[in-house]
Structure 1
Amino acid sequence: MDNTIAQSRWYRLIPVAFITYSLAYLDRANFGFGTAGGMSADLNITPEVSSLLGSLFFLGYFFFQIPGALYAANRSAKRLIFWSLILWGILAMATGMVNDVNVLIVIRFMLGVVESAVMPAMLILLSRWFTKTERSRANTFLILGNPATILWMSILSGYLIHSVGWRNMFILEGLPAVIWAVFWWILVNDKPNEAKWLTPAEKEALAAQLEREQQGIKPMRNYGEAFKSPIVIMLCFQYALWSIGVYGFVMWLPSIIKAAPNMDIVTTGWLSSLPYVFAIVGMLTASYYSDKTLNRKAFVWPFLLIGAIAFYVSYLIGADSFWTSFVLLVIAGAAMYAPYGPFFAIIPEVLPQNVSGGAMALINSFGALGSFIGAYLVGVFNATTGGFGLSYIFMSGSLLISAIITMVAIRPAKRVG
């Protein structure tokens, strides 16, 4: 990489992106703690309705991915995320104020709608600021907001529910997004040529490198052509199946742990955080070596296969050994998170810039559909069977098929420049 490409991009942009995505994850993942911490009992929510509420977020997320990505690509990712921060913070706080389940259904769906633009907009933004040999790490530092937030949120939410109740937990954890919107607006630029903190030479070097990387990519006329591309279609199904495992796990891990004998909500919080410690290590390691080798596939499918095996062995063990099963869940959680950075580096490397943003949004929307299916069906399986074995089989099978599709779909990229 050209030495004149500014390293200041890393400490000017990455912390801001990390915090923003962390706040998005805080307001979607704390619902599982609200459910385990008394919300279901207080609002007379049945297990089936609880599954619907947990998954409705992803249905809203699914429908509005592509419009958000098109706005971010053609107009302004900065403006889109600014308003999203304000709106999702308000909706998250409103979750702690409702007394009617029907209103809660609307809030959960709208929270998904508002947050749907954040991931594709962020990926589009980072693709304008970081080159191919940096992109997996940049994406990983963004997506680290997911496990890092769930880690501390799990502990904090347990204590907040214990001390001030689930309502105040939602209110206190929703407010920071509204405040952070101001900082986002001040600190972020949509494109490098708008940044006053870059010198003309640094802007030119970055633009030249990004342009060289586009020269080896087959041009596409429009989004329709991109959406019909075999790799985009395969990655849509791959990510949907992967997300079934991830969000079946994220949304219901607190309830799985809470069901153990003599388990209180504070201990549940601490134990729920543990998989995300190892997830962070796995994500950083996979992204580093993915950028070094540019072999994205080698840092995606093996982790998904490990997750599939861990869930299956948890099923074989059954409910007789909680701690052995819990260790396997820690392995599964870490393995499912590790490949995110390499995975989201693929699309900008195989599709031209004019369509890559929309393609990322389409893939992410299928991930949201998989998240909806995983969050809903895992909850239903747990409620109807009175155990977790069927859920483990379901998540294991989804991850196994996802790993196989990855092996077929992705080819190693060539180094450019």
Structure 2
Amino acid sequence: METTTFETQAATGKRHRLLVMLFITVVITYLDRSNLSIAATAIAQDLQLDPAHMGLVFSAFGWSYALLQIPGGMLVDRARPRLMMALIIGLWSLATVLQGFASAFVLLLSLRVLLGVLEAPAYPTLNRIVTTWFPDSERARAIAVYTSGQYVGLAFLTPALVLTQQHFGWHGVFILTGLIGVVWALVWYALYREPSETAGINQAELDTIRRGGGLVELSSARASQPRYSAADWRAVLGNRKLWGIYIGQIAVTSTLWFFLTWFPTYLVKYRHMDFLKAGFMAAVPFLAAFVGILASGLISDAMIRRGVSATVARKVPVVTGLLLSTTIVGANFVDSPSMVILFMAIAFFGSGFSSITWVLVSSMAKKELLGLTGGMFNLMGNLSSICVPIVIGLLVKGNDFAPALVFMSAVGVVGALSYLFLVGRIERIR
């Protein structure tokens, strides 16, 4: 009788409210990664840094961030998200504030490395939360919504950061974004709870999540396992399907890291746009990427609900988006600022459209290895955060940025081929 009551009871919508928290977290995460791109021109002038040195500064975050994805993912499999996220958000936000006081190349470089250390567990933790809170049929949409924070936040806040720099200098950009994160760390700790511990959630919603493949009891899944076995590592490193999404993720994130690092410099230095105008025009591609990620999540989940296989529903947006991202090379063949922004917007729309890739980790990883698999996935993907800024810095000669955009287009082709020929059927690894 009790079961019947639960089944007829309307499910609460706590999981949908949770998405607001995840969205804000991602906005703050990417503000602290991308604030350097806004301040880069002024920093280069103030600290007398050439393109090669700026490439190193741009990539410094990625050195530690990528390297620590595996330890970060292992930590996620054992730590509870409430304390984990509050702690790392607060610490990386303090590191961001300190960047506002950097007075030399080495100090700025070191603080960017520290930022990567502290942000390393963030995305594996977010993926674990979504896998815990959402059924399979809603997961791509949920991931699309919170991932869109990396685009919409920058689209609307880039002009604000540009104005901040105009009035308070590049130092103010880092201090402002860091203080926002410190406040959010406190809010996260006050509000977040696991599904079974959330006030106001009813059994109907817990059953909806559980029956749909959400891992509601994940918090205790590995409590008795002190370390990973050789079989765990083989599952993560020895599977062709996973290598397909690892390689594909390098391509997906490469376009993103171009926009997070060199894009404003490209507009100001190589396309000779006014700094303030470039700041506002730079928002257009981020808005396009925002539309792309939301559209891909809605389309992918709609295909699942209509009975389309997970293989088709998940892979089509990713491959389509990667192919669209190759259009970035078109900016090499136009002169007007509006046409440059158009090609950039199409390419970044494609990048956004391909960015539901975390749903593949949720759908394919062994359930007790979500953190480890997510860490490896994010490690591979964020190799681009190391390589792309440095390679572009080396490819750029004089006033010629064209080779860098050819490189970006080629990376998109490689990613699409990886999904087409390596990933195969989307299913959970047993």
With the length of structure 2 as denominator, give the TM-score of the two structures: 0.88
Deviation of 1:377 after TM superposition, in Å, equals 1.3
Q: How does 1:193-208 map to 2 (within 5 A)?
A: 193-208=196-211
Tell me, in whole angstroms, the C-alpha distance in 1 between the residues paired with 2:108 and 2:70. Answer: 25
Tell me, in whole angstroms, the C-alpha distance in 1 between the residues paired with 2:405 and 2:413. Answer: 12
Return 199-208 or 247-256, whichever deviates more: 199-208
Return 384-393 or 191-200, whichever deviates more: 191-200
Q: How does 1:57-136 map to 2 (within 5 A)?
A: 57-136=61-140
What is the SS of the residue equivalent to 2:212? helix
Aligned-pair RMSD on alpha carbons?
A: 2.3
Question: 2:256 — aligned with what?
Answer: 246
Question: 1:312 — aligned with what?
Answer: 329
Tell me, in whole angstroms, the C-alpha distance in 2 between the residues paired with 1:5 and 1:279. Answer: 35
The one-letter code sitting in structure 1 at the alignment partner of 2:253 is: S
The one-letter code sitting in structure 2 at the alignment partner of 1:395 is: M
Per-residue CA distance 1:83-124 (angstroms, 9 max, x = gap): 111111111111111112111111000101111111111011
Tell me, in whole angstroms, the C-alpha distance in 2 between the residues paired with 1:107 and 1:275. Answer: 28
Whether the aligned pair in 1 keeps the contact of 2:89 and 2:181 (CA below 8 Å) is: yes
Tell me, in whole angstroms, the C-alpha distance in 1 between the residues paired with 2:178 and 2:403. Answer: 34
Tell me, in whole angstroms, the C-alpha distance in 2 between the residues paired with 1:53 and 1:273. Answer: 23
Per-residue CA distance 1:27-67 (angstroms, 9 max, x = gap): 1101011112x111111222211110011101111011122
Mapped pair 1:179 → 2:183:
yes
Whether the aligned pair in 2 keeps the contact of 1:162 and 1:265 (CA below 8 Å) is: no
Question: 1:395 — aligned with what?
Answer: 408
Question: 1:347 — aligned with what?
Answer: 361
What is the SS of the residue equivalent to 2:213? helix
Residue 329 (structure 1) aligned to one of 344, 363, 374:
344
Tell me, in whole angstroms, the C-alpha distance in 2 between the residues paired with 1:209 and 1:358. Answer: 23
Mapped pair 1:280 → 2:290:
yes
With the length of structure 1 as denominator, give the TM-score of the two structures: 0.91
Moved over 4 A (4+): 2-5, 211-214, 411-415
Question: 1:380 — aligned with what?
Answer: 394
Per-residue CA distance 1:130-152 (angstroms, 9 max, x = gap): 01100001111111110012112
Mapped pair 1:300 → 2:318:
yes
The one-letter code sitting in structure 2 at the alignment partner of 1:136 is: A
Identity of aligned residues (%): 22
Corresponding pairs, count: 402
Tell me, in whole angstroms, the C-alpha distance in 1 between the residues paired with 2:216 and 2:205. Answer: 17
Question: 1:163 — aligned with what?
Answer: 167
Relative to structure 1, is the Cα distance of residues 213 and 407 closer, same or farther in structure 2, using a 3 angstrom cutoff?
Answer: farther
Question: 1:50 — aligned with what?
Answer: 54
The one-letter code sitting in structure 1 at the alignment partner of 2:406 is: I
Q: Where in structure 1 are there 5+ consecutive unaligned residues?
A: 215-219
What is the SS of the residue equivalent to 2:80? helix
Question: 2:226 — aligned with what?
Answer: none
The one-letter code sitting in structure 2 at the alignment partner of 1:378 is: I
Q: How does 1:348-363 map to 2 (within 5 A)?
A: 348-363=362-377
Tell me, in whole angstroms, the C-alpha distance in 1 between the residues paired with 2:110 and 2:232. Answer: 35
What is the SS of the residue equivalent to 1:345? helix
Per-residue CA distance 1:282-315 (angstroms, 9 max, x = gap): 111111110121310111101111111x123223
